[in-house]
Amino acid sequence: MDRIMNHMLIHALREVFRQEKEQGLPVDTTRDLVLKLAEQEEGKLYLTEAEHSKSVEALNQLRDTYLKNGRYSDGIDSVLLKIMKSRYRPYRGRGR
């Protein structure tokens, strides 16, 4: 994932974080994912199942906001498709 895509995903997750905080919902998953992305350098991004679904949800909300305001969502679409097409492999713990 390149820097532009990374920043777009962080922007989308910040909006979800604000909404969760206002509604009094737990923000741990979103906060940890934003911090993980902030430390991420270019290359592969490994996400858990919860992080994957949170990312798709956040990007979809940002895309809806852009379309509602009459803005182009091409960049968001490319990040969303890249995450949705990514292969998910469950992590197996040691000793299995």
Q: pTM for the full model?
A: 0.82
User: Phi then psi for 46, rounded to 5 degrees?
Assistant: -100, 120
**pLDDT of 52-79, one tens digit each?**
999 999 999 999 999 999 999 999 999 9
E-assigned strands of 1-96? none
User: Phi then psi for 88, rounded to 5 degrees?
Assistant: -105, 125
Contact between residue 45 and residue 7 where contact means Cβ atoms under 8 Å apart: no
Each domain of the chain, given as residue ranges in start order, spans: 3-85
Q: Would you say residue 40 has pLDDT above 60?
A: yes
